[in-house]
Structure 1
Amino acid sequence: MAAINVSLQIIPKVKDEDTYRVVDEVIKLIQQSGVPYIVGPMETTMEGELDELLEIVKKAQNVCIREGATRVLSVVKIDYKPEGVTMDEKIYKYRT
């Protein structure tokens, strides 16, 4: 299967002052996974195989719970086409 994009917005139910700390732990999980990713102000976009990316999404829920969240709201967007899709093809013209 060709590489695709999955964007993950994760909203852990924690005290306001803990939100960024918990989200940072999710971003650390994504970094450690080795997949290409871009952190944005509202979501993080990853590139890779669908099964691998969905496994990261699944693990992200557990990271939030481990870090003290009592509930986790996640918004997942998948950009798929059979021949593959890259982050670069969508944003290269906006990079300097």
Structure 2
Amino acid sequence: MTDKNIQLAIQVVPLERNGNVYEQIDAAIEVIQQSGVEYMITPMETVMQGPYEKLQVVAREAQEALVDAGCNEFLVNIKMHIRTDRDVTMEEKRLDR
């Protein structure tokens, strides 16, 4: 797709109420934290920055972590900001820069 860094925001929403929903979400976040990509956790989603292919893998592994944590049904919302001519950075979007 592109060799530039992109941003991918992922939100996972468990739909079942068996087990601890926050523990299931935390399992997905832990995958992101262990991935080595730059990320920012917000109240509604986690934003990652890095190469397109790497972020696709991390997003899939985060979903698999939900299943491993006992979640059988969930929603996944993904947003991506992609440029082909230069990197997308978190710094450029910060209001306090």
Calculate the TM-score normalised by the size of structure 2. Answer: 0.89
Output the CA distance in 2 between the equivalents of 1:25 and 1:13: 15
CA offset at residue 19 of structure 1? 1.3
* Structure 1 runs of 4+ with >6 Å offset: none
d(CA) in 2 for partners of 1:14, 1:64: 12
1-side partners of 2:74 and 2:50: how far apart?
A: 24
Cα distance between partner residues in 1 of 2:8 and 2:28: 14
Is 2:81 the counterpart of 1:79? yes
Comparing 9-18 and 61-70, the one that deviates more: 9-18
Give the 3-state SS of the residue equivalent to 1:58 in structure 2. helix
| Structure 1 portions without partners, runs of 5+ | none
Distance in 2 between the 1:72 and 1:87 partners?
27
Structure 2 distance, partners of 1:94, 1:16, is 40
Whichever structure has more helix as a proportion of its residues is: 1
RMSD: 1.5
Q: TM-score, with normalisation over the residues of structure 1?
A: 0.90
**Secondary structure in structure 1 of the residue aligned to 2:88:** coil
Figure out how many residues of one structure are paired with residues of the other and give that number: 94
Provide the residue aligned with 2:63 in structure 1: 61
Q: Is the 8 A contact 1:14 1:68 kept in 2?
A: no
Q: Structure 2: 5+ residue runs without aligned partners?
A: none
